[in-house]
Amino acid sequence: MMPWPATWAARLWLGVLVLLPFLALGTPPLFDLDEGAFTSSTTEMFLRGDFLSSYMLGEPRHDKPILIYWLQALSVSLWGATEFGFRFPSALAASAWILVTYLFVARVISRQAGLTAALIIATAAGLTVITHAATADALLNLWLAAAAYAAWLWLQENRSHWRDLAFVCMALGFLTKGPVAVLVPVGAVFLWCLSRGEIRRFLGFALHLRGMALFLLIAAPWFILQTWLEGPGFLEGFFLKHNLSRFDTPMEGHGGNYFYYLPVLLLSLLPHTGLLLAGLLKPGDIWRNPLARFGLLWFLLVFVLFTFSGTKLPHYLYYGYGGLLLILAAAPLDRRWLLFPAPLLFAGLAAFPLLLARYQDKLKPDDRLLAAGLEQAYGSGYLTLTLVLLAISLALLLTPRRWLARALHLNGLMAALAVAALFMPALGQLLQAPVKAAGLAARSQEGRLVMYGTNTPSFQTYAGRQVSRGMPGPGDLVLTRQSKLERLPAHDVLFQERGVMLLRIR
């Protein structure tokens, strides 16, 4: 029997949380580099008529498997090649992630804890960004959560269908983003069994023949086909360069020190960072609780693994949040200081454009030109609304103790609205509007499209045409930045906005 909320009000609230990933989904332009890379690769599938291999700007893209591209291709076939169409698979996966997490936590802890866990995924600032992005991460987090939760149910109930489900989810995760989809759930099970001296139990999970057969049946065919089509260079590029090499070398400038993920943890959970402090107040109790220990080991595995990785990105830490939620969701909701982080979030959102304006002169020349649109993107309406949300969050600090849980949920809803419907659209307008406009302008122009001196693959998505990189020739259309003009041959300017330029080479 499914542990659905006991009251209609709670069921309605769960429905709101499940649907929040669709809030303002198609409003911001696509963000480069990540959204641009995924969506331009999907666009190129249609341009090439090849839905087996992923390419970006005419070159093989070996760093991600195929599943997210297939889902995006299906989505844009249904909804059109729009921001909503490209982001729809991520929002759908995020909704499933929220629902799966609620059902699991409600089953193993309580319905209230399930709603708290769903609230964190749906409204925490960092997770709101991921659930609204046309990348593979929302989908991967769904498979990670489903695989690890199924593994836990197998550990407790010893029913084979839970183990089979875990392997199916790991296989789908492997098709989404590769080995991390196996490493995290299997690693969490291993550490938990090791902490209890039950290594044979772990072997019964990891080396189960039917589970491995299911995994290979789902995950292996595409990899085998790609290797046959592209040769061993595909496997070398995928496993060695884009997976193993990430752990010893910072890729694409994404490095960081050993404390990189501490501020990521604190900021990404806003406005619910107080739950982190409440949940970790008694580490001894966490260790003695089997479920909480499993969640802690899962989170620590991810935290330590990526702390020592050469390549660091904020969303890597989220792979461990499915475990962390098992601790945070069980935290008592009767402490007033749980509400204190919310005003910090809204104050930070309100202050962001003001701080950027203050330090605008210290930006690089091209970025300074982009920042000229700051006032238009973050207008008076943005500041007014964020200040209103700040005032409400401050007023909620006076909430009577018996209503603190409701105040926590209201803060979460306001945070989701602020990040998804205010901050991200304004940031997209600031950073991406000129690239989008240039791409749309290039749709109807004749000539080969070339990108020079800039790395904004969303240009190909918006142009809906093949784009290449390199030095342009006569008659070519070129997307570039103003600082690169002196390196180019004689040209005519077709489009110019805040340093983003579309040129025709003479």
Same domain, 478 and 378: no
Pairing of strands 449-451, 477-481: parallel
pLDDT in the model for residue 335:
85
pLDDT in the model for residue 334:
83
Residue 225 belongs to some domain of the structure: yes
472 DSSP assignment: -
Residue 225 and residue 27: Cα distance in Å, rounded? 37
Per-residue 3-state assignment (H helix, E strand, C coil) for 297-365: HHHHHHHHHHHCCCCCCHHHHHHHHHHHHHHHCCCCCCCHHHHCHHHHHHHHHHHHHHHHHHCHHHCCH
pLDDT in the model for residue 281:
79
What's phi and psi for 332, nearest 5 deg? Answer: -65, 140
SS3 91: helix
pLDDT in the model for residue 227:
86
Dihedral angle over CA of 455, 458, 459, 465, nearest 10: 120
pLDDT in the model for residue 309:
81
Q: What is the pTM of this model?
A: 0.94
SS3 478: strand
pLDDT in the model for residue 154:
97
Same domain, 145 and 293: yes
pLDDT in the model for residue 248:
57
Q: Which residues of 315-330 are buried (b: 16+ CB within 10 A; e: fewer)?
A: bbbbbbbbbbbbbbbb
Same domain, 284 and 391: no
For the chain, list residues with pLDDT below 50: none
What's phi and psi for 495, nearest 5 deg? Answer: -155, 140
Same domain, 244 and 226: yes
Same domain, 285 and 342: no
pLDDT in the model for residue 6:
87
495 DSSP assignment: E
Same domain, 259 and 355: no
Same domain, 258 and 241: yes
Same domain, 172 and 258: yes
Residue 203 and residue 211: Cα distance in Å, rounded? 12
Same domain, 324 and 344: no
pLDDT in the model for residue 250:
55
pLDDT in the model for residue 397:
95
Residue 214 and residue 60: Cα distance in Å, rounded? 29
What's the domain count of the chain? 3
Written as six digits, the tokens of 236 are 């070398």
pLDDT in the model for residue 343:
97
Whole-number CA gyration radius for the chain: 24
Same domain, 391 and 253: no
Same domain, 158 and 274: yes
Residue 369: how many CA atoms within 13 Å on its side-chain side?
14
Tell me which of 379, 412, 433 is where a domain ends. Answer: 433
Residue 84 belongs to some domain of the structure: no
Residue 4 belongs to some domain of the structure: no
Residue 369 belongs to some domain of the structure: yes
Taking CB atoms within 8 Å and a gap of at least 24, the contacts of 78-81 are 81/43, 81/461, 81/464
For residue 499, the enclosing domain spans 441-505
Same domain, 322 and 248: yes
- In whole angstroms, what separates CA 481 from the centre of its chain? 28
